[in-house]
Amino acid sequence: MPPELNRPRDCGDMILPAFSTSAHTGTNLAPAASGGAAGTLPAEAPDHSKPWMEQILSIALIAIVLIAAGATIFIILTPGEGDAFTEFYILGPGGKAADYPTEFMAGTPQTVIIGIGNHERQDITYTVQTFAVQAKFDGVTNQTAITSAMLLDQFSVTVPYDQTVEQPYTFRIMDPDTNRIEFLLFKEMPPETHSYRDLHLWLRVH
């Protein structure tokens, strides 16, 4: 009689464990779209906020740089109120700041060059007055006091904006006591108060 084979136990009497993907070592199943399997953390979604923030900051930085550059160019090309001025100077007869006629005989003609540079942002007709002045220095007060002033001449010069006009001017000093010649510059006609610019030369008249 053949030996009796060992029969498996009746499956109806056994309780099989429920299938679980997490129970098998070495198995890595991707979670479903609706969520991961029990005991498995869902994959972290990529953070897209940082790239957007970096782009916004970059755009803002570029805008600031462009605004600063535009403001700098505007300031350079557009002069402010403090930049409006007039140049007023005297040159010797040779067109240089030298060889001024400061010593001569009374009644002899002397020539200088008067220069006016207009940086007032508009065309201006200036008025120039010249005076023969007698002045004395006070050693006590350390100041120069004018004892007399006689008007020698008055004339107008029209200077376009951003232009400089230089023109010769000839004068005669008749009084040997005159020791200074004054050049006064006014915008338009001279007022009763004071000049816009003034220059002078000390003289020795014989």
Domain total of the chain: 2
Residues 103 and 182 in one domain: yes
Mean pLDDT score, 102-127: 97
> Could you list the residue range(s) of the whole structural domain that residue 73 is in?
52-81
**Is there a single domain that holds both residue 64 and residue 137?**
no
Per the DSSP assignment, residues forming a β-bridge with 90 are: 114
pLDDT for 20 equals 42
Q: Is the pLDDT of residue 95 over 50?
A: yes
In this structure, are 156 and 92 located in the same domain? yes
Between CA 115 and CA 123 the distance in angstroms is: 16
Confidence of residue 56 (pLDDT cuts 50, 70, 90): confident
* 58 and 135 share one domain: no
What CATH number has the domain bearing residue 191? Answer: 2.60.40.10
Any domain includes 9: no
Domain membership of residue 110 (yes or no) is yes
Instruction: Identify whether residues 117 and 74 lie together within a single domain.
Output: no
DSSP code, position 61: H
Residues 107 and 66 in one domain: no
Of residues 189 and 206, the one with the higher pLDDT is 206
Per the domain annotation, does 33 fall within a domain?
no
- Residue 126 lies inside a defined structural domain of this protein: yes
Alpha-carbon distances of 177 from 49, 202, 206, rounded to whole Å: 90, 12, 9
Q: Are residues 193 and 93 in the same domain?
A: yes
Q: Both 199 and 104 in a single domain?
A: yes
What is the spatial distance between Cα 16 and Cα 12, in angstroms, rounded to a whole number?
Answer: 10
Residue 46 lies in a domain: no
**C-alpha torsion angle, residues 175, 176, 177, 181 (rounded to 10):** 70
Residue 2, burial from CB neighbour count under 10 angstroms (0-12, 13-18, 19+): exposed
Poorest-confidence range of 10-24, 72-86, 88-102, 138-152? 10-24
pTM: 0.61
Does any domain span residue 91? yes
Containing H/E element for 66? helix 49-77
Please tell me the predicted confidence (pLDDT) of residue 8: 47
Given a cut of 50, whether residue 13 has pLDDT beyond it is no
Q: Give tens-digit pLDDT for 130-163.
A: 999 999 988 888 888 899 999 999 999 999 999 9
pLDDT at 80: 55
pLDDT at 105 over 90: yes
Whether residues 62 and 105 share a domain: the answer is no
